[in-house]
Amino acid sequence: MTFRTRLLLIFTVAVVASVALVEWLVTDSTRQAFERMETQRVNGLVAQFRKEFAQRGQEIVRAVNGIAASEAAVNIAISADYSPYYNEAASLAAAHGLGLLELVAGDGTIVSSAEWPARFGYKEEWLAEPADWEARGAFLKREELPDGVTVSLVAVGTARAGDRKLYVAGGQQLDREFLSSLLLPEGMRVLLYRNLEARFSPAELVGGRADDLPRVRTLIEQVQQRKREIGRTLGSGSSAETFHALPLTGYQNDLLGVLLIASSRRELVELESVLRRTGVGVAAAGILLGIALSWWATARVTRPVQRLAESAARVAAGDWGATVESSSTGEIGQLARAFNRMTRELVAQRERLVQAERVAAWRELARRLAHELKNPLFPLQITVENMQRARERYPEQFDEVFREGAATLLTELANLKQIVGRFSDFARMPAPEMQPVNFNGLVSETLKLFEPQLAQARVRADTALDPQLRPVQADPEQMTRVLRNLILNAIDAMPEGGTLTVRTSALEGGVRLEVSDTGQGLTPEESSRLFTPYYTTKTHGTGLGLAIVQSVVSDHQGRVSVESAPGKGTTFLIELG
């Protein structure tokens, strides 16, 4: 990953994180504000509903008191025989808009019942209890009806005639009809759970939808346990509703029902959704803008660094004169200037080094030439001096001395010629002529040529040739020369005799050639300088043999290396292909 990409990534992450944090903070604070507003709205609606509920209770109280104050009620109260009035409650209830009405004698005996006409003569024990029913107003009561038990909102009035009195107990069932008659604000609905069974009974949930049951059950059970108002938001999305569950207690403080006032959160959810979408849009735009700015800033920051890196790469590739243009005055500018100084220094040092190496090479060449030429020159000088001495002192032997001296001179001149030829060969190394070469055959043939020399030097030649080796593209003549040089080098390395081992092994599309000796080995310093032209550890030789090996292998796009340690012999490894 480039420095520019990494920097851009860091900037992008920073921008995204910052925008997301700001977006979250803004959204959360806005949502909380809306939640507070929603809570206030719901509380207002609940209060409005309570008022409506209380008003309905007051209407019932008015109707009941109206009946109690009517002439019909007084007539019943003073009647000695209640039997003619057993059907009176139904007509009175219908006339006053009450769903439930019972006329009860002072001793608690039912005179007439609108909701259950057959109950005449039965006792309403709770009415006979001492209580100020008028002061109590409307209250909730568990009501038994022919088709079951229900919860009702009732009030009790009393018709008095002298010492006789008639209770008028009337009201409305808290059923679906009652709930639907309540004036509810927009977005609000009311459910009623009648707490008539010991356990939760789905049949007692009035006014709900089919999907309400599983949602409100837990809420109802909590109210049943705690007997206090509980508020919860149930559902999700635009179908979510805020439920206020109010315990409905009877006149004996027993829990008769749970009133569930549900307020839709649709508007709030939609508003929050709009806010969220807007926030996401703004955040996305901010992030895109941030990324664009980051891109620009990154490019601006990394451009000098990139130039620096490119220049460094050019230097590494050998272009020592590479420089960096920078107009910056900051750290990057200082770095660019330092780099330019460094490359200038490197060029200067390199030139100095080349010059020094050139001088050293010339010196080495001169030393080598002097050394190589000195050996044949000394016999030449001795031979010429012998010939002069023989002419002056022993003229009779001059011819013989001349013949021997001429032969010696010719031999040494041949040596000189050979030395000059080697130097000439190294200077004029030809380009390889590539063709498929069987290296196993090449090794065998070359070793055969050296058999007399090996025998003379008491060196045993071993081979380990890979039969799987296939012909490899190479110049056979140059590779023979390489192998010859390495064999000669090995023979020289084992003056006391030893073992020469030549191995071949197949590489993928190439060959690995190893030439090992069991000589004294090389020091690390000798190993590092081994392929330097004119360098030799021997007392004779031009120091060009291994340089030629390296030159040939390099021309074949191969690699040559040496593994050696003092006392453990030396192995040359050549890899081609």
Partner 1 sequence: MRLTLSPWFAACSLALAALAAATASAATRPHYGGTLYVEVRQSFETPDPPTTGYGMPDLARAFVITRWEAGRRAVYEADENTAGGRPFLDAVEIEMGRPLRDQSIDLELGKADVVELGPSELRRQPAGRRVWGSAPVRLVALVFGPRVEDARIREALALAVDRAAIHNVLLQRQGEVSAALLPQWLSGYAFLFPVVADAAKARTLVAGIPAAARAISLGVEDAAARPIAERIALNARDAGLAVSVVPQAAGADARLVEVRIGSLDPAVALAGMAASLGLPEPPRANSPEALYAAELALLGGFRVIPLFHLPDVYGVNPRVKGGPGITPLGEWRFENLWVEGGRP
Q: Which residues bind partner 1 (CB under 8 A)?
A: 82-84, 86-87, 116-122, 146
Beta strand pairing status for 570-576 and 510-517?
Answer: antiparallel
CB of 120 vs partner 1, minimal distance in Å: 5
For the chain, the straight-line distance linking the first and the last C-alpha, in angstroms and rounded, comes to: 33
- 166 or 500, CB closer to partner 1? 166
- 87 or 388, CB closer to partner 1? 87
CB of 102 vs partner 1, minimal distance in Å: 14
- 87 or 349, CB closer to partner 1? 87
Query: How far is the C-alpha of 248 from the C-alpha of 254, rounded, in Å?
Result: 8
b/e for 300-333, b at 16 or more Cβ within 10 A?
ebbebbebbeebeeebeeeebebbbebeeeeebe
Half-sphere exposure of 515 (CA within 13 A, CB side): 24
**Residue that the structure tokens 């330019």 belong to:** 340
- 146 or 452, CB closer to partner 1? 146
CB of 81 vs partner 1, minimal distance in Å: 9
- 120 or 193, CB closer to partner 1? 120
- 110 or 174, CB closer to partner 1? 110
CB of 162 vs partner 1, minimal distance in Å: 24
8 Å CB contact between 464 and 489: no
- 5 or 83, CB closer to partner 1? 83
CB of 265 vs partner 1, minimal distance in Å: 45
- Residue 294: which H helix or E strand, with range? helix 266-316
**Residue that the structure tokens 């808290």 belong to:** 174
CB of 47 vs partner 1, minimal distance in Å: 43
CB of 122 vs partner 1, minimal distance in Å: 8
Report the candidate in 324, 310, 321, 326 with the shortest Cα–Cα distance to residue 344.
321
CB of 118 vs partner 1, minimal distance in Å: 4
- 147 or 186, CB closer to partner 1? 147
- 122 or 320, CB closer to partner 1? 122
**Phi/psi-derived region of residue 237, left when phi > 0, alpha when psi is between -120 and 50, beta in every other case:** left
Query: How far is the C-alpha of 348 from the C-alpha of 319, rounded, in Å?
Result: 13
The DSSP annotation for 45-69 comes to HHHHHHHHHHHHHHHHHHHHHHHHT
CB of 89 vs partner 1, minimal distance in Å: 13
- 111 or 283, CB closer to partner 1? 111
CB of 164 vs partner 1, minimal distance in Å: 19
Beta strand pairing status for 498-507 and 459-464?
Answer: parallel
8 Å CB contact between 442 and 479: yes
- 118 or 280, CB closer to partner 1? 118
8 Å CB contact between 553 and 482: yes
Beta strand pairing status for 139-145 and 148-161?
Answer: antiparallel
CB of 56 vs partner 1, minimal distance in Å: 30
Beta strand residue intervals within 318-399, DSSP E: none
Sign of the dihedral defined by the CA atoms of residues 294, 297, 301, 304, in that order: positive
Calculate the alpha carbon distances from 110 to 122, 154, 283, 306, 533 in Å.
Answer: 5, 16, 74, 104, 136
Half-sphere exposure of 178 (CA within 13 A, CB side): 23
